[in-house]
Copies of this chain bind each other. A is one copy, B any other.
Amino acid sequence: MDSSSSLDSLHHIAISVQNIAEAAEWYRETFRCEITYQDATWAMLKFGNVSLALVLPEQHPPHIGFVTPAAHKYGTLKRHRDGTESIYISDPSGNVVELMSPESCGQA
């Protein structure tokens, strides 16, 4: 991910699965990817260009995390345990979109 790019980038995509361990194993067997975090409630899988988060529907909404310098325009960013800072908004169709600050993602 090139911070000098003129285009914003995607940090991760989060999809709902019924069982984190089962899903993480399926993605690891199906693709060349690395499990960078896993517990009973969510997992993060690293792919070549972007990460895939597996979440339980009752814990997190499915969403797409974008890295954009405009994140601050939408309100006060919340700091997460991994150090990233973001705010959640919805697109006109109700899809949940996470806006992450480049500085907090090491892309400043």
Copies in the assembly, this chain: 2
The answer, yes or no, to whether A19 is at the interface (CB within 8 Å) is yes
Interface check A92, CB cutoff 8 A:
yes
Instruction: Tell yes or no: A6 within 8 A of B by CB.
Output: yes
Q: For the complex, would chain A's binding face be called helix, strand, loop or mixed by DSSP majority? A: loop
Indicate if the CB atoms of B47 and A95 lie closer than 8 Å: no
Closest 9 CB pairs of A and B: A9-B48, A7-B48, A17-B93, A5-B48, A8-B31, A9-B49, A49-B49, A8-B32, A18-B93
Task: Evaluate contact between B92 and A22: CB separation under 8 angstroms.
Answer: yes
Q: How large is the interface on A (under 10, 10 to 19, 20 to 34, 35 or more residues)?
A: 35 or more
- Pick the residue among B9, B23, B92 that contacts A18 (CB under 8 A): B92
* Closest B residue, CB atoms, query A63: B15
8 Å CB contact of A49 from B1, B18, B34: B1
Listed by A's residue number, 13 A-B pairs whose Cβ atoms lie within 8 Å are A1-B49, A6-B32, A7-B48, A8-B31, A8-B33, A9-B47, A9-B48, A10-B47, A10-B48, A13-B13, A13-B64, A16-B93, A18-B93
